[in-house]
């Protein structure tokens, strides 16, 4: 029994030390537009910067793949709004993580207007990110007349690939991904 306890203790210690490193690693994955609404609203597709732990994925940035336009969404924590957004998704209810688009951060205002013309506030429901699996994104905005959430678009994307993050994958990487020259070689 002491040997089993010692082995379990060592395994727990290794997980406790390694878990923060796994959780802190930022990753980047791209998806190509698959549905007509995805092609119309995003062009070539979307690229996501995210962290993934054993229990959850957190989207840190969403960028249009072909142009330097993007947002840094934050998890939607308003329970009443989340229930309304979920209800608007029909059969897809509960399948995605809900994020609010801050119109004052990066190109949030541009993204809200692109996804939901006339809206000042926006939300996204993003299905789980998984290697070689398609992705569905629901875009919501506030109704200009009532202020209530409305479903504006359902977009489907096909997995393109996971990309190496630039430089160290800790502080400041999201800022580098949003630079207009991201992905270009110096002097090009």
Instruction: Identify the band that residue 164 occupies on the pLDDT scale cut at 50, 70 and 90.
Output: confident
| 7 torsion bin: left (phi>0), alpha (psi -120 to 50), beta (else) | alpha
**Average pLDDT score over residue span 91-106:** 90
Token pair for 25: 């690693």
| CA diameter of the chain | 68
Residue count (the chain): 188
Per cent of the chain over pLDDT 90 is 56
pLDDT at 17 over 70: no
Q: What average pLDDT does this structure show over 139-155?
A: 95
Burial class (CB in 10 A: 0-12, 13-18, 19+), 85: buried
pLDDT of residue 59: 92
In the chain, what percentage of residues exceed pLDDT 70? 75
Nearest to 120 by CA among 128, 110, 112, 111: 112
Which residue did the predictor score with more confidence, 180 or 130?
130
What confidence score (pLDDT) does residue 53 get? 82
Q: Where are the domains of the chain?
A: 23-178
**pTM tops 0.75:** yes
Please compute the mean of the pLDDT values over residues 3-24 and round it to a whole number.
48
65-74, 104-113, 122-131, 167-176: which is most confident: 122-131
- pLDDT attached to residue 174: 54
Please write the tens of the pLDDT for every residue from 26-65.
889 999 999 999 999 999 999 999 998 877 889 999 999 8
Average pLDDT along the chain: 82
Across the range 154-174, mean pLDDT stands at 77
């Amino acid at each position: 029994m002491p040997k089993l306890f010692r082995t379990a203790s060592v395994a727990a210690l290794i997980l406790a030390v390694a878990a923060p490193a796994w959780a802190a690693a930022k990753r980047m994955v791209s998806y190509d537009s698959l549905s007509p609404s995805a092609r119309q609203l995003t062009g070539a597709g979307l690229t996501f910067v995210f962290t993934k732990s054993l229990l959850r994925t957190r989207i840190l940035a969403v960028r249009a793949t072909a142009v330097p336009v993007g947002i840094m969404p934050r998890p939607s924590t308003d329970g009443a709004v989340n229930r309304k957004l979920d209800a608007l998704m029909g059969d897809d209810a509960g399948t995605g993580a809900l994020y609010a688009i801050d119109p004052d951060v990066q190109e949030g205002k541009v993204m809200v207007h692109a996804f939901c013309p006339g809206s000042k506030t926006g939300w996204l429901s993003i299905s789980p990110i998984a290697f070689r699996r398609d992705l569905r994104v629901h875009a919501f905005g506030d109704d200009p007349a009532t202020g209530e959430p409305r479903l504006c678009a359902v977009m489907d994307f096909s997995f393109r690939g996971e990309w190496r993050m630039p430089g160290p994958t800790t502080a400041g990487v999201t800022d580098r991904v949003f630079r207009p020259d991201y992905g270009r070689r110096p002097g090009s």
